[in-house]
Amino acid sequence: MNTSQSLLAELARSEKPIGVGIIGLGAHGSWAERSHLPALRAVPGYELRALSTSSKESAERSGHKHGVSRTFGTAAELASCDEVDLVVVAVKVPHHRELVQTALSAGKSVLCEWPLGNGLAEAEDMAQRARSRAVPTVVGLQARSHPALAYARHLVTDGYLGEVLSTTVVGSGGAWGATVGPGDHYVLDAANGATLLTIPFSHTLDGLASVLGEPEELRIQLASRRTSAVDTESGQPVPMTAADQLVASGRLPGGAVATFHYRGGMARGTNFRWEINGTEGDLVLTAPIGHPQLSSVTIEGGRGTSSGLAPLTVPESYVHVPQLDPRADAPAYAVAHAYRQFLDDLREGTSGVPDFAHGAARHRSIESALTTV
């Protein structure tokens, strides 16, 4: 175990918290503010000690709002801060590689939001750099840490379904629909790497793989049915080069069939429905949006002689961050459980939370599966 791994493991096993610095913690509704901030405050063992934004002035405003005394106008300053043990990169995808490289060069452990890189090449580069530095890393594929998915994984393993025969996922992306907010234009540009494919579908694919195993013979097709969206503030059309429709199919270990359909925008019906069908029973997971990684998730099941579905309550033993409510604190809920899992990994030498190598492998799985329509 190297020095950085030893340090974090020692901190995780002791009463001393891991010092966290967040790149991208703004004062006006940023993703870090809605997810990482409440998650860190709900998980004992971490202490938010620093933040950086795009300028010294905005960092100071954010620090004042969030009660963080160490504020920096550059990521390099944050990464070099002795009080920071773990750097969280929570900015737009095109900036991930540069900021991750800055943190790794300072010898710091890094948690980077998903997608890890803007494409496979960037992700593999970051994974290689992390390996060469031999520091613990985390990629923000938190769906697998969601208590509802952890419970579904147990039910499948425990034989609730018998032999799994098939699984079907239908989800709505939220973005990539008829309208777009003024701050979300960048997701419509495929070149930015934040698309229907890389965000809601890939988060869900990773969560499904944690429950049922990694799909084999995966084939993904993209289609663009909309070529623009209307800005909700200006009323003007915004070009959309990212696909707004995705269909995928594959086989699970053992031969079960897996199918997916993701569509842009929001549907008037169910915006996330995941069915798992087996020889002895069925499970259905639903959510109000097609992003189970940042939503409350409901489980229903039926088996044996039952002809319908009944609600299944996630046992308290799967809920490791009881301070957060899965509905009221939905954006932070799975993130907090990922932070908790990372602590457990450091303490016990396990690898339950995805690292950069896993992130690069997930990029590889989706890019190698793409086919033309």
Region of 207 on the Ramachandran plot (φ > 0 left; ψ -120 to 50 alpha; else beta): alpha
Q: What is the pLDDT of residues 105-138, one digit of tens each?
A: 999 999 999 999 999 999 999 999 999 999 999 9
Average pLDDT rounded to a whole number, residues 340-349: 96
pLDDT of residue 6: 75
pLDDT of residue 3: 57
pLDDT of residue 234: 98
Q: What is the pLDDT of residues 222-242, one digit of tens each?
A: 999 999 999 999 999 999 999
Average pLDDT rounded to a whole number, residues 350-365: 98
pLDDT of residue 290: 98
pLDDT of residue 371: 87
At residue 373, does pLDDT exceed 80? no
Do residues 336 and 43 lie in contact, with contact meaning Cβ atoms separated by under 8 Å?
yes
Give me 67's structure tokens.
């009660």
Q: What is the pLDDT of residues 149-202, one digit of tens each?
A: 999 999 999 999 999 999 999 999 999 999 999 999 999 999 999 999 999 999
pLDDT of residue 130: 97
pLDDT of residue 2: 54
pLDDT of residue 239: 98
At residue 208, does pLDDT exceed 70? yes
pTM for this prediction? 0.97
Q: What is the pLDDT of residues 285-316, one digit of tens each?
A: 999 999 999 999 999 999 999 989 999 999 99
Mean pLDDT of the chain: 96
pLDDT of residue 372: 62
At residue 4, does pLDDT exceed 70? no
Average pLDDT rounded to a whole number, residues 15-31: 95
